[in-house]
Amino acid sequence: MKASLKFREDQKPLLRAKIPLTILGLPFQSAIAAGTSKELTLKLSTLFESGPSFNLAYRPNDSSNPFSVIVKTGIASFGSPISSPMLMSAEFNLIASGNPTFMLHFKPKLGDFSVKKSQSSSVMFQKVPKSEEEPVDVKTAVSKAVSGLEVAVSTAVPIMKSGAVRFRWGLRVPAAEGMKMSGGISFREVPFMVMDKIGFEHVDGGDMSTKEGSLGNGDLNLDSDCFSVKRQFEVLKLENGLLKKSIDDLRKQMKLFSNSGRRLNDRNAPELGGFDGLPPDDKAAGVEELRKPALPSA
């Protein structure tokens, strides 16, 4: 469940609430938006992880467009608009005939920082009277491109174990006339931070415990990490002991093998004699006979 209150300049705050549902085993989401009486909207939308989403909207106080179907697609998984930095929506009026309304949204995020820019087809193709036409210069083009751009940063504060309050701070640019001090320093078009939105998120206990551990319960994560490292050291110590025992057994076997080979050589040495197979005494006598000079023949 998510609920938010968006503050708007010179307008009433916009209250939104979203509740996930399951219909026939499929994920859906119901939403309600309430600001002015004409902005009261009830929505039922699909909530698939991939593919575009389809919304059925009902506006009881809007006689021109009470029922409409909104199709949203993005650049996420198979065109899913969930957590997509860019998405496009098309709204079809089911009662009145006419062209659908297209909306193009840019909302890239970098951590807690986000930039939002929306462009509607009804405003883009709106005809401007000739009396209100202005010469197009660099300043006018830049102002039109920047108009409607929202730069925001959000901060979250956990509540108990099942929720969190998220504050979104927006960047606002004052009017062009601005303010001047007595010294002549102009503060025209100096941006400043304002409270833009307050939201409440309700999550499951298991997911929230993980988030709380990452936000403010660092000791729990530190203890679990220390326990994991200690367990790994114990496993390494056990494996080191087993490896040392295997090496000692291998050394004993090699020592026994070398001792048995030496005993075998000592046992066969008297029987084999020298390299020519003769006993040692006979071998020495044969060498002495070879050293004697040969007797002259008669």
- For the chain, 298 residues long, give each residue's pLDDT as a single digit of tens: 889 998 887 788 999 999 999 998 899 999 999 988 888 999 999 999 888 999 999 999 988 889 999 999 998 888 888 888 899 999 999 888 778 899 998 888 888 888 888 888 876 555 445 445 555 555 565 566 566 677 888 888 888 778 889 899 887 766 544 444 444 445 555 667 788 899 988 876 544 444 444 444 445 566 677 778 888 888 888 888 888 888 888 888 888 877 776 666 665 555 444 444 445 555 455 545 545 555 554 4
Give the closest residue to 201 by CA, choosing from 155, 249, 233: 155
Looking at this protein, which amino acid is placed at residue 89?
S
Domain ranges of the chain: 2-121+148-173+188-216, 226-291
**Alpha-carbon gap, residue 218 to 298, rounded angstroms:** 116
Fold of 2-121+148-173+188-216: Porin (2.40.160)
Q: Rounded to 10 degrees, what is the CA torsion of 130, 132, 136, 141? A: -130
pTM, whole model, 2 decimals? 0.56
